[in-house]
Amino acid sequence: MRNAFFGTMLALAEHDERVMLVVGDLGFGVVEPFASRFPARFVNVGVAEQNMTGIAAGLALSGKIVFTYSIANFASLRCLEQIRNDVCYHNANVKVVAVGGGLAYGALGSTHHATEDLAIMRTLPRMVVVAPGDPVEAELLTRAIAREAGPCYMRLGRAGERVVHPRHTPLQVGKAIVVRDGSDLTLISTGALLWTAVQVAEQLARDLHVESRVLSMHTVKPVDGDAILAAARDTRAVVTLEEHSLIGGLGSAVAEVLADAGELTTPLRRLGLPPDFSEHVGTQEYQLAAYGLSHEGIIKSLKPALDLLGRW
């Protein structure tokens, strides 16, 4: 996703001189092509994310389209006051790009994990929140948020995410993508767990004859209520998958839609991270497995939903 984002940034900057990039002193391998090609539109503020956000807001209010870039927890939490008061309050055209969402910086520990960011960004007025599920979505969402005026938070994986979609998949901010259709169960995923969701759906179909609809909910705010309600009405259970705390993220957004619409008769199961600091030390893959978010862990966690279908 990271490479897809920076490749798209170069393409956008080639055609629009308003596009600027402000970074917090990281990502040199991927940042350097932009800095070399557009030095007058690149600012490295150093390890000072509050300044990064304030500078970006000022540039945006002077007519620029400004992308900020840092590790996810630093891009969101260290400068939260500036995002709220400088960016959102002024409806500034700043796109906060956070790399390494969830447990992507695994062994560096909780100081570098971003497991509350989607919840916090969802609460901010005027903020759009997106989390692409693969490199194709990363490219398409980068283009889409550049076209839309106003604040946006985009959560990227760190590297190596599998491609799920064809190159020219239609994408619209606020509208989920149906990756796979099915009438038994709906799996709703946001961010980098999309590939895992597809693999789980294929195993359920192969081994248990359970046909799962897979929705890529790349936009967490505004969430696609129509797709959620259709899933609740068309299938017999809904499951959300996210590399994020179970409080305030995708699962909470889906539950809110169902509750507000009075559609709570369809069973909902939320799979994500516990609302605590990680007790495990190791790679992203190791920690996901420890929290039941690996392919095998998700299959095991789905047993209650599958029991309702009488297919286990």
Q: What is the mean pLDDT of residues 95-108?
A: 95
pTM: 0.96
Q: What is the mean pLDDT of residues 243-266?
A: 94
| Distance separating alpha carbons of residues 32 and 16, to the nearest angstrom | 19
Three-class SS of residue 150? coil
CATH architecture assignment, domain 177-309: 3-Layer(aba) Sandwich (3.40)
pLDDT band for position 305 (cuts 50, 70, 90)? confident
| Distance separating alpha carbons of residues 128 and 189, to the nearest angstrom | 17
Radius of gyration for the alpha carbons in the chain, expressed in angstroms and rounded:
19
Residues of the chain above pLDDT 90, percent: 90
Residue 300 has pLDDT above 80, yes or no: yes
Nearest to 87 by CA among 64, 54, 65: 54
Query: DSSP secondary structure string, 10-21?
Result: HHHHHH-TTEEE
Buried b (16+ CB within 10 A) or exposed e, 27-60: beebbeebeeebeebbbbbeeebbbbbbbbbebb
- Would 2-156 and 177-309 be classified into the same CATH topology? yes
Task: State the greatest distance between any 2 C-alpha atoms of the chain, in Å, as a whole number.
Answer: 62
Q: What is the mean pLDDT of residues 142-162?
A: 94
Residue 265 has pLDDT above 90, yes or no: no
Q: What is the mean pLDDT of residues 83-94?
A: 98
| Distance separating alpha carbons of residues 137 and 135, to the nearest angstrom | 5
Residue 164 · residue 197 · CB < 8 Å: no
pLDDT band for position 191 (cuts 50, 70, 90)? very high
What pLDDT digit, counting tens, does each position of 22-36 carry? Answer: 999 987 789 999 999
Superfamily assignment of 2-156 in CATH?
Thiamin diphosphate (ThDP)-binding fold, Pyr/PP domains (3.40.50.970)
Specify the length of the chain in residues.
312
| Distance separating alpha carbons of residues 251 and 263, to the nearest angstrom | 15
Residue 159 has pLDDT above 80, yes or no: no
Residue 51 · residue 74 · CB < 8 Å: no
Residue 303 has pLDDT above 90, yes or no: no
What pLDDT digit, counting tens, does each position of 266-286 carry? Answer: 999 999 999 999 999 999 999
Q: What is the mean pLDDT of residues 285-312?
A: 86
- Kindly list the domain boundaries of the chain, sorted by start residue: 2-156, 177-309
Residue 257: the pLDDT is: 97
Residue 94 · residue 58 · CB < 8 Å: no
Residue 117 has pLDDT above 70, yes or no: yes
Query: DSSP secondary structure string, 85-143?
Result: IIIITTT--EEEEEES-BTTTGGG-GGG-BSSHHHHHHHSTT-EEE--SSHHHHHHHHH
